[in-house]
């Protein structure tokens, strides 16, 4: 018996009013693969099957999940099942009434992104004027008694605002702020040259985080997601392939993480064709990188393999062209030079492409 999943990320739709250039959604989110969204009944079945399989934490994400008119119903179903529900939202046009309705349906926690510490930068990065709605929604969540996480994806263009972001989260009375350095998948990989931070930026931001953690203690949890390209060893991605997490995409494909769909050498199954427990236990894609029998050197004989699980399979595929090799971030990887080259390229920042349906369709057509 494999370990059972604890986490399900339900990507309810890939539609989104924001256009963040670091979006982790697939480049071809607007293409045919993700077109036919799961119905309310189908999602309800997925949640039931997930709970029976051992899932306890449910992330309701997207795209922008509040675009689903049945969100309240889905939250209600998840709540009845005893799942701990988190809404992961941009808060664009998210009013107090909608939030109150979600609270009544049993929503447990709200995570709202912000792209910068002030309206000017936040709106520029988001590509959509949304800062004002976000600040209003932060206040509503507090008034309604939701625990609140402020999420900021960090990159070259906003790392200088880390202190202001923490102060903003503190002033809003948030429980947590996630300072998530950009991980290079999806649109972020496409825009890597524009987003790549410098070593000096990261060092300065990290100093701020350490100082603010000491000042704030338990009053505000500051989560710092490591910028893995700048690390010596890979991240223990998802706690290991198909060990604790799964993602269900808007059209029902099931992935071991929200980036795995890009691995074109794997076949991913769909909840329309198979029960979730079968996909978790028996599908080829979920079993492919379980355990350590798949590992090549330098992972196979490495004492770190029980800690980092060989790093990230998606990164191995996207950077080294083979999902079955050591994460190229690892200093011991024969592909590390590809990461170093990307870091060097980042010294000359490029323009980014906003995440939007026309760009997505153009990229999908290019393959």
Partner 1 sequence: MIPRLHAKARLQRDEVRGREVLLYPEGLVGLNPTGAEILELCDGARSLTDIVTTLERRYGVTGLERDIAAFLDGLAAKGLVLYAP
Which residue from 24, 25, 141, 149 is in contact with partner 1, where contact means CB under 8 A?
A: 149
Position 44 contacts partner 1 (CB under 8 A): no
Q: Which of 317, 308, 256, 326 is nearest to 287 (CA)?
A: 256
Using DSSP, how many helices (H) and how many strands (E) does the chain show?
15, 9
**Distance of alpha carbon 47 from alpha carbon 59, whole angstroms:** 11
**What are the strands, taking DSSP E only, across 52-113?**
57-61, 84-89, 109-113
User: Closest approach of Cβ 185 to partner 1, in Å?
Assistant: 19
Stretch that binds partner 1, among 41-49, 51-59, 67-75, 160-168 (CB under 8 A): 51-59
> How many residues bind partner 1, per CB under 8 A?
20
User: Closest approach of Cβ 183 to partner 1, in Å?
Assistant: 16
Position 243 contacts partner 1 (CB under 8 A): no
User: Closest approach of Cβ 54 to partner 1, in Å?
Assistant: 4
Position 57 contacts partner 1 (CB under 8 A): yes
Residue 316 CB burial class (10 angstroms; 0-12, 13-18, ≥19):
buried
For the chain, what is the radius of gyration of the CA atoms?
20
Tokens encoding 164: 């202001």
Which residue from 61, 86, 141, 201 is in contact with partner 1, where contact means CB under 8 A?
A: 86
Q: Which of 188, 230, 184 is nearest to 206 (CA)?
A: 230
Backbone angles phi, psi at 344, to 5 degrees: -65, -40
Instruction: List beta partners, residue 110.
Output: 87, 148
Which residue from 69, 82, 303, 358 is in contact with partner 1, where contact means CB under 8 A?
A: 82
Position 281 contacts partner 1 (CB under 8 A): no
β 245-248/254-255 pair status: antiparallel
Position 189 contacts partner 1 (CB under 8 A): no
Stretch that binds partner 1, among 104-112, 121-129, 181-189, 319-327 (CB under 8 A): 104-112
CB 90 within 8 A of CB 130: yes
Stretch that binds partner 1, among 50-58, 155-163, 233-241, 357-365 (CB under 8 A): 50-58
Which residue from 56, 209, 216, 332 is in contact with partner 1, where contact means CB under 8 A?
A: 56
Binding site for partner 1 (CB under 8 A): 4, 6, 52-54, 56-57, 82, 84, 86, 108-109, 111, 145, 147, 149, 175-176, 218, 221
């Amino acid at each position: 018996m494999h370990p059972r999943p604890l986490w399900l990320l339900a990507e309810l739709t890939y539609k989104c009013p924001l256009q963040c250039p670091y979006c982790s959604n697939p480049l071809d989110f607007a293409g045919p693969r993700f077109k036919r969204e799961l119905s309310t009944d189908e999602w309800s079945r997925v949640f039931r099957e997930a709970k029976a399989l051992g899932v306890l934490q449910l992330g309701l994400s997207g795209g922008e999940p509040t675009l689903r008119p049945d969100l309240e119903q889905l939250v209600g179903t998840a709540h009845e099942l005893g799942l701990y529900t988190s809404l992961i939202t941009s808060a664009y046009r998210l009013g107090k009434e909608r939030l109150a309705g979600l609270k009544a349906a049993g929503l447990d926690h709200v995570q709202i992104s912000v792209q910068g510490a002030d309206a000017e930068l936040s709106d520029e990065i988001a590509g959509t004027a949304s800062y004002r709605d976000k600040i209003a929604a932060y206040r509503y969540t507090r008034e309604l008694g939701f625990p609140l996480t402020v999420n900021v994806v960090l990159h070259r263009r906003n790392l200088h605002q880390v202190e202001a972001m923490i102060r903003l989260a503190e002033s809003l009375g948030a429980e947590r702020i996630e300072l998530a350095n950009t991980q290079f998948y999806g649109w972020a990989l496409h825009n890597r040259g524009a987003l790549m931070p410098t070593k000096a930026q990261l060092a300065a931001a990290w100093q701020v985080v350490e100082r603010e953690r000491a000042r704030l203690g338990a009053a505000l949890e500051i989560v710092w997601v490591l910028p893995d390209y700048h690390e010596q060893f890979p991240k223990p991605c998802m706690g290991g392939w198909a060990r604790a997490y799964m993602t269900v995409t808007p059209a029902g494909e099931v992935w071991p993480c929200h980036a795995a769909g890009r691995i074109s050498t794997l076949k991913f199954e769909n909840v329309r064709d198979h029960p979730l427990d079968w996909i978790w236990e028996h599908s080829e894609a979920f079993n492919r990188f379980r355990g350590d029998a798949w590992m090549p050197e330098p992972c196979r004989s490495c004492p770190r393999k029980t800690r980092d699980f060989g790093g990230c399979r998606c990164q191995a595929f996207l950077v080294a062209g083979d999902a079955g090799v050591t994460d190229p971030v690892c200093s011991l990887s024969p592909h590390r030079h590809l990461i170093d080259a990307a870091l060097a390229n980042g010294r000359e920042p490029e323009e980014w492409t906003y995440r939007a349906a026309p760009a997505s369709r153009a990229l999908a057509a290019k393959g």
